[in-house]
């Protein structure tokens, strides 16, 4: 499995990407501060579990931006420069008077100083991301020096005052994209800013090489129509837009006969969609399954055929489908095994 670093990719960070970011830094003797929202009440920019990772020069992730984030970064850098020796501190803000923000809510945050001594539990957290995504990290917020520990969420854990659980579960749903042409690459580009995990498959080396690198986008060589379709987890969405109508047909038929998908979309005109549906019926595909195909995609009252417009409209359809479905019960599945990985966005 070969990976490449996307260089200066500016895509949004995922909910558990702080683990890799922090481990990379403490492994090279750098010190950073992880700030996590541990409590919230009323209207706030982000929910419990939102985080930023702060070093002396940069900050990664977001607490929603604005004055709150600026204040937390300042407190984190004070902790970086402190000689007191505490590894954890708690701060509370009433957003109106403290941050001059109109939200009006209140938040509490835990600031965790991470240095070389944090590498042990960060390594365990990194392993959990790969093997046990239901796990969480327990931070004893009432003890500034008690080390965090990895816990199994399926076990009987009672969250009490003085503790914070930071989940290692990545709730972002999967989107499988078959075809990395003009529209496909636009979808990859826009999806890099969305809470999705996208797998782009294409048989053409040149097209795969043009997919914009992103942390949440994985590019795979689709050897044949079976590569990818038989590995898609329940609760995922799929888009078909390859260079071949025959390959499109084979992929759509395999996807329609696969239960548990949230959305199946096929690019093309109304006439192409009609021909495909006629052929499905002729080939004995259940009419109820055929009705699960969305084609054309990305209409939404937009007449433009520009790749970016089609991509934006199609992703809107998919995000609405995810929003209306309890996909999170499926999203615990990690990257499907058995796929030939060519390029995966990595966090730098």
CATH of the domain at 182: 3.40.50.720
Question: Of the residues 119, 138, 167, which one is the last residue of a structural domain?
Answer: 167
Residue 266 to residue 124: CA distance in whole angstroms = 41
Query: Within a domain: residue 10?
Result: no
Regarding whether 214 and 142 lie in a shared domain, the answer is: no
Query: Within a domain: residue 221?
Result: yes
Query: Within a domain: residue 3?
Result: no
Regarding whether 227 and 109 lie in a shared domain, the answer is: no
Sheet holding 88-94, edge to edge: 59-61, 51-54, 32-41, 106-114, 88-94
Query: Within a domain: residue 133?
Result: yes
User: Which string of DSSP letters, residue by residue, matches 10-55?
Assistant: -PPPPTTTHHHHHHHHHTTT--EEEEEEEEEESS-SS-TT-EEEE-
Q: Facing residues of 37 across strands?
A: 109
Regarding whether 186 and 162 lie in a shared domain, the answer is: no
Judge residue 41's burial from the number of C-beta atoms within 10 Å of its C-beta, 0-12 exposed, 13-18 middle, 19 or more buried.
exposed
Residues 6+ apart with CB under 8 A from 331: 169, 170, 171, 172, 173, 174, 235
- Buried-exposed string 148-186: b where 16+ CB fall within 10 A, e elsewhere: bebeeeeeeeeeeeebbbbbbbbebbbbbbbbbbbbbbb
Per-residue tokens: 38: 């541990």
Residues 6+ apart with CB under 8 A from 209: none
Measured CA angle at 175 (ends 48, 330), to 5 deg: 55
> Which residue range is the domain that position 272 belongs to?
174-344
Regarding whether 83 and 110 lie in a shared domain, the answer is: yes
Q: Facing residues of 107 across strands?
A: 40, 93
Query: Within a domain: residue 12?
Result: no
Regarding whether 238 and 261 lie in a shared domain, the answer is: yes
Regarding whether 150 and 187 lie in a shared domain, the answer is: no
Q: In tens digits, what is the pLDDT along the chain, a chain of 348 residues?
A: 222 333 344 567 899 999 999 999 999 999 999 999 999 988 888 899 999 999 999 999 999 888 889 999 999 999 999 867 778 999 998 877 666 667 678 889 999 999 999 999 999 999 998 888 789 999 998 888 899 999 886 555 555 678 899 999 998 999 999 999 999 999 999 999 999 999 999 999 999 999 999 999 999 998 766 666 888 989 999 999 999 999 999 999 999 999 999 999 999 999 999 999 999 999 999 999 999 999 999 877 677 889 999 999 999 999 999 998 864 544 444 444 444 444 444 333
Regarding whether 290 and 217 lie in a shared domain, the answer is: yes
Residue closest to 51 by CA, chosen among 149, 158, 188, 166: 166
Position 340 scores a pLDDT of 42
Query: Within a domain: residue 32?
Result: yes
Question: Does residue 15 contact residue 37 with C-beta atoms inside 8 Å?
Answer: no
Regarding whether 182 and 162 lie in a shared domain, the answer is: no
Question: Of the residues 121, 139, 167, which one is the last residue of a structural domain?
Answer: 167
Regarding whether 179 and 163 lie in a shared domain, the answer is: no
Predicted TM-score of the model (pTM): 0.82
Question: Does residue 211 contact residue 338 with C-beta atoms inside 8 Å?
Answer: no
- Number of Cβ atoms within 10 Å of the Cβ of 188: 24
Position 334 scores a pLDDT of 47
Residue closest to 165 by CA, chosen among 203, 128, 195, 137: 137
Position 272 scores a pLDDT of 96
- Number of Cβ atoms within 10 Å of the Cβ of 90: 15
Query: Within a domain: residue 13?
Result: no
User: Which string of DSSP letters, residue by residue, matches 97-131?
Assistant: HHH--TT--EEEEEEEEE-GGGHHHHHHHHHHHHH
Question: Does residue 152 contact residue 73 with C-beta atoms inside 8 Å?
Answer: no
Regarding whether 209 and 119 lie in a shared domain, the answer is: no
Regarding whether 28 and 159 lie in a shared domain, the answer is: yes
Q: Looking at the chain, how many residues does it have? A: 348
Q: How far is CA 166 from CA 24, 47, 132, 137, 262, in A?
A: 19, 12, 14, 5, 28
Question: Of the residues 167, 198, 218, which one is the last residue of a structural domain?
Answer: 167
Query: Within a domain: residue 230?
Result: yes
Regarding whether 137 and 223 lie in a shared domain, the answer is: no
Per-residue tokens: 92: 């509370």
Structural domains in the chain (count):
2
56-63: long-range contacts, CB 8 A cutoff, minimum separation 24: 56/80, 60/13, 60/17, 60/18, 60/21, 61/13, 61/17, 61/18, 63/35, 63/37, 63/109
């Amino acid at each position: 499995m070969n990976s490449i670093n996307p260089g200066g990719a500016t895509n949004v960070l995922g909910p558990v990407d702080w683990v890799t970011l922090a481990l990379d830094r403490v492994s090279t003797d750098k010190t950073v501060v992880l700030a996590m929202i541990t409590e919230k009440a009323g209207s706030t920019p982000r929910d419990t579990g939102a985080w930023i990772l702060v070093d002396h020069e940069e900050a990664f992730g977001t607490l929603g931006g604005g004055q709150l984030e600026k204040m937390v970064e300042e407190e984190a850098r004070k902790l970086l420069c402190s000689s007191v020796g505490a590894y954890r501190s708690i701060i509370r803000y009433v957003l109106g008077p403290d941050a001059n923000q109109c939200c009006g809510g209140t938040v509490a945050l835990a600031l965790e100083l991470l240095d070389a001594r944090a590498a042990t539990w960060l390594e365990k957290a990194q392993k959990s991301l790969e093997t046990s995504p239901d796990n969480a990290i327990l931070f004893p917020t009432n003890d500034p020096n008690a080390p965090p520990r990895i816990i199994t969420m399926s076990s009987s854990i009672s969250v009490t005052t003085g503790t914070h659980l930071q989940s290692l579960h990545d709730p972002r749903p999967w989107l499988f994209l078959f075809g990395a042409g003009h529209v496909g690459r636009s979808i990859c580009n826009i999806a890099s800013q969305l809470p999705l995990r996208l797998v782009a498959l294409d048989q053409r080396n040149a097209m795969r090489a043009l997919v914009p690198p992103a942390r949440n986008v994985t590019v795979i060589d689709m050897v044949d129509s079976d590569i990818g379709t038989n590995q898609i987890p329940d609760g995922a969405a799929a888009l078909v837009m390859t260079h071949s109508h025959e390959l499109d047909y084979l992929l759509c038929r395999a996807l329609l006969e696969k239960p548990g998908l949230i959305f199946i979309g096929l690019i093309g005109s109304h006439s192409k969609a009609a021909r495909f549906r006629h052929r499905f019926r002729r080939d004995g595909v259940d009419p109820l399954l055929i009705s699960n195909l969305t084609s054309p995609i990305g209409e939404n009252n937009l007449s433009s055929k520009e790749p970016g417009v089609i991509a934006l409209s199609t992703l809107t359809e998919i995000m609405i489908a995810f929003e209306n479905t309890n996909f999170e019960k499926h999203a615990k599945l990690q990257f499907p095994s058995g796929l030939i990985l060519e390029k995966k966005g990595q966090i730098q």
